[in-house]
Amino acid sequence: MIEVLVKSVIQLILLLLVAPLITGIIRTLKARLQTRRGPGIGQPYRDLFKLLRKGMVVPNTASWIFSATPYIVFGTAALVGLMIPMTATDAPLSLFGGVLAVVYLLALGRFFLALGGLDTGSSFGGLGSSREMTISAIAEPAMMLAIFTVALSANSTNLSEMARSAVSQSWRFLAPSQILAFSGLFIVLIAETGRIPVDNPATHLELTMIHEAMLLEYSGPYLALIEWGASIKQLVLMTLLVNTFFPFGLSSSWMISGLSLGLVFYLLKLLLLACCIVLVETTNAKLRLFRVPELLAVAFILGALALISTFLF
Amino acid sequence: MSFIHDPQFGDRMITLMAALVLVLQIAMVGQRWLITNIRLFGLQSFLLAAIAGTIAFFNHSNHIYIAAALTLVVKTLALPIILERIVARVGIQQEIEPLINVPLSVLISGGLTLVGYIVAESFYHPEETSAPAALGHNTLAIAIALFLIGFFMMLNRRKALTQVLGLLSMENGLFLAAISLTYGMPLVVEIGIFFDVLVAAMVLGILVYRIGETFDSTDVSKLRRLRG
Amino acid sequence: MVLLWLLLVPLVAGPLAFFLRKRPAMEATNVAAFAVVLVLAATLVEQVLQSGPVSYWDGFLYADALSALIVLLTAFVALTCSIYAVGYFRHDEQNTVFVQAEDVLGEMAAYKLRKYYSLSPLFVFAMLLVALANNLGVLWVAIEGTTLASVFLVTFYGRETSLEAAWKYAIIGGVGLSMALFGTILTYYAAHQIMGTDTLAGLNWSVLVVNAAQLDKPTMRLAFILILLGFGTKAGIAPMHTWKPDAYSEAPVPVAAMLATGVLNCALYGLVRFYILTSKSLGPQFASQLLIVFGLLSMGVAVPFVLVQRSFRRLLAYSSIDQCGVMVVALGFGGPLGVLGMFLHMTFHAVTKPLLFFCAGNIQQHVNTDLFRKAKGGLIHSMPWSGAAFLMGTLAVTGSPPFSLFQSEFTILRGAFGGGYVFPAILFVALLVAIFSGFLVHIANLVLGPDPGLPKGETCRWKKYSVLSLASVIIVLGFWIPAPLYRLIQGAAGIVMSAP
């Protein structure tokens, strides 16, 4: 029991610290690729601290949902983060559920975010919520198919089990089912974290914003919690991607030496994935909203093919 | 580096590249921009040449090397250059709405892949598992899928150039099928087929150009003067 | 050696015409080349009849009675078309059909003519290679070569409709041939399993036919279906026939005639070679049933389009689809009589079809349209020879006695009843009668009738004499067939019948 608590605390601290770092790295890399200097890697931290100290304005028409949403978003993201192997193959809360729990917890967070956007009664919020729901309607099955492919090869839906079995088979990531699942999951990552080509995270134009539209009415600590929760969710999905498909460097125990080595490898892999995301963001234009289902249909088919090919190859 | 000579590793690399070929083909079905489609085709041909090269490496047979080199030169370099030049001269950039919308056509491509797997099952003989000989046998399913998806692309799309790309994808699928079933056709036949494909692409390209000039559009649904 | 010369002469004559400047030189080269080819073909026939199959280049080129028959027919059609083309293109040039008004020096005309005179020998080269290649892969390459060589011949007039016809021809032909390539690959796979060799001989027909009984059955089944769909597209079997009416009506008449006879024969030749392999491996039942179904379907599809037709060029195309169906059904009926009937039909058709095209071409050039309602009627008054020959050719091609095609169709029917295919035979006859009536009514309306007062249209000697000579050949063949020719046809049928 104590062990679980200690591991959870360590992993939680790691989550909370690394999540804004990744957001900062992605923003800086993007800026550098666009020959700007960018605000610096530490800017998300500065933003969070600023927001936490600021006062809040809550709309009159909002209900308890408005106030509950930031906590739920942050809480579900952090909870999911504790269920995923980050530096060691053993996630602290892995006994409480596997991939299904992960998917549904993320869905819960997204659901409340959409409700929060609708709750204020402003049209921008409703617009963002409906767009977000359209995208997630196809992204979620695609994500499930891709993750189930990995679960099939590991014969378990427990993420720690999946990581452990992946570590034991060295060339497994070259199998076509893994490649197809990875491609499908990468597209889902882009969709879920609201990056170009699905959604522009830096825009506030009515025509183009999806995620930002739901957050328009939030301010102060609520906004800080939601932003933090969103970057934790992004970190969680990226971790899922790198650790289930390329589990190099995952330490098999929670010894300090293993953990630190694992941390180094983990950050390296995250950096690589962040570079890929930045490349995709910089070389593509944002898709029209009605074209997004086409992209997600491709992700869905990739997931389906990955699942089929585990049986046929 | 001894693992490079291990047939298991070769098998895995070939399977990996074949899966990427399939991904590229599905991307071509959903893709709208013609130049991107042409480049995807070039990349796909490059992967096919790599697959042929890997099989040649493990079987130490020269004529498969030559087939791989021909694929590289003709389909990865020459054809995309020719087709991109046609696109530049005719001036069309983008595909218009296909007959079946993109998500549904991507789903149908997935279904056709399944059909390809089922057909290829009947060709899989488990008793022939001597390692170099069995190399790439599981790529037959992808080859048939490529053939069927290329055919579907020809029916579904309306721009003339995309129909040409569909035809070339069918040929790619046949090349992969020949490689996986019999390690390629006899060399003279291979050379003849490549020559034919090159000339066919050039002929079709010239036709596309002239259609574009005459009809001011390369939408083949406008070619409906001859009836009955 | 004669095999090599057969291929070299057209291969050289094509590019040679490209470098010539004057029209008479081009015409002379073309006609002379094809005359030489016909003589060489006759020599080949004599060699094959005397001493059996001829092979060259270590078995790369191979000619047995079947190949020799196809070569002879192709050479004959090529020569008659090139003679007719002289007059046809001279008429076009005089009437500035393919020349812009500003083209004072006639450079455009010379360019167009050069295109025809350099591409058509290459076209014939590809057709000859189909018949002479031993390797099934090279056979495929050659058939694809015929498509590629003829696409620009179909776009000859550069009209919008020409481009549309050429596009459909190229694309549908391309798809069909891809399927045929897949069938060839599967055949090679089946051969590879029993021969186990990587050399060229693995796909050689003469080698495969000896061991064909051991070919893997499911593979050959799939392979034959693909080959039927693939080469059937080139031959024009329904439902892959949709390119035919467009291509035959838009191409210049000599090209259309070569497409209708040469390419049809080559595609059917390819189909027959694979049919022999398949029936040795699977037994004749499977392939025959497929062939009968597709053949009757082709004939059936042609009927409504023949009855309701607005253009006589397209009418000829549907007639060609119908004739192709007849030959395929004949192959399907099988048995010694069915196969003999098929080759007789192929031979007689190769003589009759060009006549129809030439007459149609004469009429079209005279009245400047190919639509029935614009051409009105009574053309026999202004073009007595062409009109009469057209009428006679119609009667011949639809199988009326005493013309030769009646005999071949009768032989096919006897083969059908001999094989026990009673219902298909009845359907066969019914469809033939339907086509006969439709075709005859259209042509009779076109040719007969009151005099519309058009000027005399048969001024060109080349065109007139082509028509007359073909017409006389048809009349003669109705009563007498030369013994060597008949032995050749029997030899070809014998090769097919060597399947158990």
User: Is residue B129 very low, low, confident or very high in pLDDT (cuts 50, 70, 90)?
Assistant: very low
**CA C117 to CA C128: how far, in whole Å?**
17
What are residue C204's DSSP bridge partners?
C135
Neighbors of chain C with 3 or more C-beta pairs under 8 Å: B
Closest CA of chain A from B105, distance in Å: 9
Q: Which amino acid is at A290?
A: F
Residues in chain B with CB shorter than 8 Å from the CB of C202 are: 186
Residues in chain B with CB shorter than 8 Å from the CB of C144 are: 196, 200
User: Is residue B210 very low, low, confident or very high in pLDDT (cuts 50, 70, 90)?
Assistant: confident
CB distance C151–B207 less than 8 Å?
A: yes
When pLDDT is averaged across residues B174-178 and rounded to a whole number, the result is 90
CB distance A179–B138 less than 8 Å?
A: no
Which residue on chain A is closest to B25 by alpha carbon? A298
Residues in chain C with CB shorter than 8 Å from the CB of B228 are: 245, 305, 308-310, 314
ipTM: 0.91
The domain limits of chain C are: 283-500
Nearest to B226 among C137, C141, C246 (CB): C246
Neighbors of chain A with 3 or more C-beta pairs under 8 Å: B
Identify from B189, B190, B193 which residue to disrupt to test chain C contact, counting C C-beta atoms within 10 A and taking the largest count. Answer: B189
- pLDDT tens column, B48-59: 999 989 888 887
CB distance C170–B207 less than 8 Å?
A: yes
CB distance B23–A171 less than 8 Å?
A: no
Which residue on chain B is closest to A294 by alpha carbon? B103
CB distance A175–B9 less than 8 Å?
A: no
Any CB–CB contact under 8 A between B19 and chain A? yes
Any CB–CB contact under 8 A between A308 and chain B? yes
- For the whole model, what pTM was predicted? 0.86
Residues in chain A with CB shorter than 8 Å from the CB of B27 are: 298
**CA A125 to CA B226: how far, in whole Å?**
55
Which residue on chain C is closest to B194 by alpha carbon? C141
When pLDDT is averaged across residues B96-100 and rounded to a whole number, the result is 76
Nearest to A294 among B15, B102, B141 (CB): B102
**CA A108 to CA A214: how far, in whole Å?**
15
CB distance A312–B20 less than 8 Å?
A: no
CB distance B103–A293 less than 8 Å?
A: yes
Closest CA of chain A from B210, distance in Å: 32
Closest CA of chain C from B9, distance in Å: 25
Closest CA of chain A from B50, distance in Å: 16
CB distance B182–C138 less than 8 Å?
A: no
What are residue B197's DSSP bridge partners?
none
The domain limits of chain A are: 2-312
- pLDDT tens column, A13-23: 989 999 999 99
Task: Verify A-C touch: 3 or more CB pairs within 8 A.
Answer: no
CB distance C137–B185 less than 8 Å?
A: yes
pLDDT tens, residue order, chain C (500 aa): 888 888 888 888 888 888 887 778 888 888 999 999 999 999 999 888 888 888 887 778 888 889 999 999 999 999 999 999 988 888 887 776 655 544 554 556 677 788 888 899 999 999 999 999 888 989 999 999 999 999 989 988 878 888 889 999 999 999 999 999 999 998 888 888 777 665 666 788 888 888 888 888 888 889 999 999 999 999 999 888 999 999 999 899 999 999 999 999 999 999 999 999 888 888 888 889 999 999 999 999 999 998 888 888 999 999 999 999 999 999 998 888 889 999 999 999 999 999 999 999 888 888 888 888 777 778 888 888 888 889 999 999 888 888 888 889 999 999 888 888 889 899 999 999 999 999 999 888 888 888 877 777 777 778 888 888 888 888 888 888 888 888 888 888 888 887 54
CB distance B186–C202 less than 8 Å?
A: yes
Q: CB-based burial of residue A80 (10 Å sphere; 0-12 exposed, 13-18 middle, 19+ buried)?
A: buried
Any CB–CB contact under 8 A between B138 and chain A? yes
Residues in chain C with CB shorter than 8 Å from the CB of B210 are: 155, 158, 163
Closest CA of chain C from B8, distance in Å: 24
CB distance B16–A175 less than 8 Å?
A: yes
**CA A95 to CA A157: how far, in whole Å?**
11
- Distance from the Cα of residue B66 to its chain's centroid: 18
CB distance B15–A313 less than 8 Å?
A: yes
Task: Verify B-C touch: 3 or more CB pairs within 8 A.
Answer: yes
Closest CA of chain A from B102, distance in Å: 6
**CA A109 to CA A90: how far, in whole Å?**
24
**CA C254 to CA B57: how far, in whole Å?**
51
Closest CA of chain B from A295, distance in Å: 8
Residue A170 has pLDDT above 70, yes or no: no
When pLDDT is averaged across residues A293-305 and rounded to a whole number, the result is 89
Which residue on chain B is closest to C243 by alpha carbon? B226
Determine the longest span between alpha carbons in chain A, in angstroms.
59
Closest CA of chain B from C80, distance in Å: 28
Any CB–CB contact under 8 A between A183 and chain B? yes
CB distance C140–B193 less than 8 Å?
A: yes
